[in-house]
């Protein structure tokens, strides 16, 4: 029996998450940054965005994905450093080299975080807690940054645990503690529950997973759509998802923030071709492994409101640039306001997944009858 098919009480999952990863690497390179309010991101005058920020900056309200000019308003002394992805990628590779000392069942989520399935690993007397401590120490000694680790019987709980004692923290949720831990867990700590869903739950008097358990899957699906069934499971600490070593793309997209607002339809249309060309180049690198299922566009207005629009393709390629142009115009017409960012992309079908061959075959058969 593989570890992914074992019941939760027998699984041992670690979620390793680097602390303020980009900033930690920059601080390692320049120790004078230690304790300072700084961030990695784009320049305010170029409409940059904060990629990540130091914990000192976070104390002033600065957050990832915040516009750089807004971050500087909150923290006037904030120093913004341009990103150096080659340096971060090298640090990430070294982290994964450490992970591989313990298991080959590693699911990377980004450069700075990953799930590790250490079920059945005999190192550290089989203790996931001891393995977590060794990994934390190795990352400190060999890479010069810190990570936080969560250990639990499933991915949902491991991810929550890694955030529990940040930074440089370890939190363990053993099987015997799941019931009590999850019962008191605030609903906003559930992965995927954002501000809108949290507010909707609070308006219904639901503040903890224990309160969420009072409702049936049918009721939750009525309120929260397909996410309702998943909420019902997570409110009980249930998550049978395996650690997937071969994560595959689900989408591909490009976007650009403009130095000057795009004021009208003509200005917006003129920006579609460069985006389309960039997307086409990127898709050509993976076209042998994926087919395109949908196309989508994103418009962020100058007031930071945004909208997205997508449509299903009738064949498995990027199709013509004109389709993206039409979709972009339709999206812009929802607001008809000055625009600061445009993006476009595609939803993908993984051609390596066996079930997709059947789906594509059915689609082709349906077309052939038309």
Nearest to 225 by CA among 192, 250, 251: 192
**Which residues are designated catalytic?**
113
Binding residues for Mg(2+): 17, 112
- H helix intervals, 104-154: 128-143
Read off the tokens for 355: 């079930």
Angle subtended at Cα 309 by Cα 203 and Cα 324, rounded to the nearest 5 degrees: 170
List the structure tokens of 158: 């491991």
**How many other CB atoms are found less than 10 A from the CB of residue 273?**
12
Quote the tokens at residue 212: 């969420």
Contact by Cβ (8 Å): 190, 237? no
Contact 133, 139 (CB under 8 A): no
Task: For residues 233 and 228, give the distance between their C-alpha atoms in angstroms, rounded to a whole number.
Answer: 9
Residues in binding site: 17, 112
């Amino acid at each position: 029996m593989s570890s992914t098919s074992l019941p939760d009480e027998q699984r041992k999952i670690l979620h390793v998450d680097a602390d303020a990863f980009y900033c930690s690497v920059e601080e390692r390179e320049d120790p004078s940054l230690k304790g300072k309010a700084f961030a990695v991101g784009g320049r305010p005058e170029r409409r940059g965005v904060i990629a990540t920020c130091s914990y000192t900056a976070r104390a002033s309200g600065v957050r990832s994905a915040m516009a750089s000019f807004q971050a500087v308003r909150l923290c006037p002394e904030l120093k913004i450093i341009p990103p150096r992805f080659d340096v971060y990628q090298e640090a990430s590779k070294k982290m994964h080299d450490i992970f591989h000392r313990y298991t080959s069942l590693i699911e990377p989520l980004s450069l700075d975080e990953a799930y590790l399935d250490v079920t059945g690993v005999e190192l550290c007397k089989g203790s996931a807690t001891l393995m977590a401590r060794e990994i934390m120490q190795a990352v400190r000694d060999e890479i010069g940054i810190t990570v936080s680790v969560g250990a639990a019987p499933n991915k949902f709980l491991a991810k929550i645990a890694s955030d529990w004692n940040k930074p440089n923290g370890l939190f363990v949720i053993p099987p015997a503690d799941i019931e009590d831990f999850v019962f008191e867990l605030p609903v906003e700590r559930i992965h995927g529950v954002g501000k809108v869903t949290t507010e909707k739950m609070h308006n219904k008097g639901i503040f903890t997973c224990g309160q969420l358990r009072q409702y049936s899957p049918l009721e939750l699906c009525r309120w929260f759509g397909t996410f309702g069934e998943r909420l019902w499971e997570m409110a009980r600490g249930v998550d049978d998802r395996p650690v997937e070593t071969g994560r595959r793309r689900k989408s591909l997209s490009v976007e650009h923030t403009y130095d000057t607002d795009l004021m009208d339809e003509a200005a917006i249309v003129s920006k579609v071709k460069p985006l389309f060309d960039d997307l086409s180049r990127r898709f050509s690198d993976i076209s042998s492994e994926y087919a395109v299922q949908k196309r989508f566009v994103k418009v962020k207005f100058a007031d930071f409101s945004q909208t997205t629009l997508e449509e299903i393709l009738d064949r498995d390629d990027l199709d013509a640039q004109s389709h993206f142009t039409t979709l972009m115009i339709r999206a812009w017409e929802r607001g008809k306001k000055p625009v600061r960012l445009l993006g476009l992309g595609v939803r993908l079908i993984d051609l390596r997944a066996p079930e997709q061959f059947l789906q594509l075959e059915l689609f082709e058969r349906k077309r052939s009858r038309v």
